[in-house]
Amino acid sequence: MTSALRKRGRFCQAASSPRLLEAVLRRGAEKVRRSGEMGISGGSLQTHECLFVWDGKYNSMKDKGASVKTDPISPIRSKRKPSLLRSLCRRSAAQRSKILKTLVISFLHSRNFLDMADGHETDKNIEIWKIKKLIKALESARGNGTSMISLIMPPRDQVARVTKMLADEYGTASNIKSRVNRQSVLAAITSAQQRLKLYSKVPPNGLVLYTGTIVTDDGKEKKVTIDFEPFKPINVSLYLCDNKFHTEALNELLESDDKFGFIVMDGNGTLFGTLSGNTREVLHKFTVDLPKKHGRGGQSALRFARLRMEKRHNYVRKTAELATQFFINPATSQPNVAGLILAGSADFKTELSQSDMFDQRLQVKILNVVDVSYGGENGFNQAIELSAEILSNVKFIQEKKLIGKYFEEISQDTGKYVFGVDDTLKALEMGAVETLIVWENLDINRYVLKHSASGEIIIKHLNKDQEADQSNFRDPATNAELEVQEKISLLEWFANEYKRFGCTLEFVTNKSQEGSQFCRGFGGIGGILRYQLDMRSLDELSDDGEAFEDSD
């Protein structure tokens, strides 16, 4: 018992660090912001809601649906508690709540917490992930006949115009001969009309509406209606009735990131490629056989030199012509890239950039000329890394930097990292995670299960293979059934709840070398911590805490 108390005291001591206190206040600040309580008076900021870090048992009790009647800080009795904890322990629960609310409000004003640019960028990344997930679901949906409506309204469109158009379409659809198809189309148009009544005007970024009857995997029909405002303006007007949803405009919305062109040129050949967001693409590559310099030839030495210069000239000319072909849009006669990077060994790249044969429209797009040690795709990868500063806004580079920082924490064994579902969630509940890194295609679901006999609520995180194993839905001790109360994708749960834990959420892909290593080697989930944390010692602390409670 004494050992458990001593360990709890050390845990409180660690929890009193400024970084951790900041995490606590972030949680409380988010609660205040969501409830709209920006003053001291009014509302109730519960002490146990703000001080969740100092008691590891509270979160698990809350997740399991148990009622918390006592303030979790009350059982802590250690002479080693920091001054903040000592002062709080001497006061009543109501006084603690008022003090903590004052701290939260001060923290909001001092740090300008509600207007952080990083939060805005994270929100944008999450919106992009949600759009990608929605597109994937919409593209897989199929219906019978032409009962699926795709409707997109640009920002300055009029709701009245679209409502009138739908009324005209309703009259036209009434003449469809097939009774089943006619009823499905009329039902979809009616659903669209009802949903548009919720909007007095088109939102600033436009409006996207999908509605209709789809056929599920088990052959049953299901009515769906999805409407939302895109994360940025969508300048497309669309109305289509088909047996599928049309998502081309949404895909264009995602693909409108700046695209950068790369020309990697050396004595063996040239590669043309592009980098857009986190997608790298090789457009074309070709090889050449150029004569080398030599001192032989006698009276023909000058002729050999002229032939060599002629072949170099033809090589540069061919590269310049292909650059125009790949990086100039023939429809608009304008460059289709936001910038151009010239890379290679020797002076070929410089010769190309200064050549009159190189298109002047591309000359002005040159951002950087870099020396690389290789040609081909290896040179392409090196050119991307060397141009990282120029391309700092490209997601591919941001992803490489983020995962590189994570790997650096691991290689230096700083203890400021975590990986795996269970350990990451434990660190999240403690407010220790500064940056949560998740693979955008992580296929794990969060289950809220209820014990059929005791009524206890249990949280489980299962992948596809674990879901197929029915033993995960039974109590191993009593073999009682665990009823599914809620099922949600873990990614979606993170997107909805990450602010509650005071961290930033970053989605990564497996398209980069670092991203692929993160997904395969670390399970696609991990985090960079605010402070050093030993998960094994925390597990021991949790076990000791349970033993201490049992002895009581």
Predicted confidence (pLDDT) per residue in 40-96, tens digit = 333 333 333 333 333 333 333 333 343 333 333 333 333 344 445 555 556 666 666
User: Could you tell me the pLDDT band of residue 115, with boundaries at 50, 70 and 90?
Assistant: very low
Residues 372 and 287 in one domain: yes
> Shortest CA distance to 435 belongs to which of 503, 496, 481?
503
Cα-based torsion angle of the residue sequence 462, 463, 468, 473 in order, rounded to the nearest 10 degrees: 0
In a domain, 487, yes or no: yes
Residues 526 and 416 in one domain: yes
Residue 421 clears pLDDT 60, i.e. is over it? yes
Model pLDDT, residue 18: 45
Residues 213 and 268 in one domain: no
Backbone angles phi, psi at 461, to 5 degrees: -120, 115
In a domain, 130, yes or no: no
Model pLDDT, residue 309: 86
Residues 351 and 412 in one domain: no
Residues 67 and 168 in one domain: no
Q: What is the mean pLDDT of residues 484-510?
A: 88
Q: Which residues pair with 222 in a beta bridge?
A: 214
Weakest-pLDDT range from 6-15, 313-322, 325-334:
6-15
Model pLDDT, residue 525: 93
Give the distance, in angstroms, between the CA of residue 429 and the centroid of all CA atoms in the same chain.
20
Residues 410 and 534 in one domain: yes
User: Could you tell me the pLDDT band of residue 110, with boundaries at 50, 70 and 90?
Assistant: very low
Residues 528 and 419 in one domain: yes
How many domains does one find in the chain?
A: 4
Residues 412 and 540 in one domain: yes
Question: Which of 338, 358, 392 marks a domain boundary?
Answer: 392
Is the pTM for the entire model greater than 0.75? Answer: no
Q: At what angle do helices 421-429 and 56-63 cross, to 10 degrees?
A: 110
> Shortest CA distance to 212 belongs to which of 204, 199, 202, 221?
221
161: left (phi over 0), alpha (psi -120 to 50) or beta: alpha
CATH of the domain at 364: 3.30.420.60
Residues 366 and 419 in one domain: no
Q: Which domain holds residue 67?
A: 2-115
CATH of the domain at 478: 3.30.1330.30
In a domain, 122, yes or no: no
Question: Which of 346, 361, 392 marks a domain boundary?
Answer: 392
Burial 78-100 (b: 16+ CB within 10 A, else e): beebeeebeebeeeeeeebbebb
In a domain, 129, yes or no: no
Q: What is the mean pLDDT of residues 266-294?
A: 85
In the three-class reduction of DSSP (H, G, I as helix; E, B as strand; rest coil), residue 324 is classed as helix
Model pLDDT, residue 85: 52
- Answer with the residue of higher pLDDT: 425 or 107: 425
In a domain, 126, yes or no: no
Q: What is the mean pLDDT of residues 522-534?
A: 89
Residues 425 and 344 in one domain: no
Residues 340 and 203 in one domain: no
Q: How far apart are CA 432 and CA 503, in angstroms?
A: 8
In a domain, 128, yes or no: no
In a domain, 124, yes or no: no
CATH of the domain at 249: 3.30.960.10
In a domain, 135, yes or no: no
Residues 352 and 431 in one domain: no
Model pLDDT, residue 210: 92
Model pLDDT, residue 121: 60
As a whole number, the mean pLDDT across the chain is 76
Question: Which of 255, 279, 311 marks a domain boundary?
Answer: 255
Q: Which two tokens stand for residue 493?
A: 């749960």
DSSP code, position 471? G
Q: What is the pLDDT of residues 295-309, one digit of tens each?
A: 666 667 777 788 888
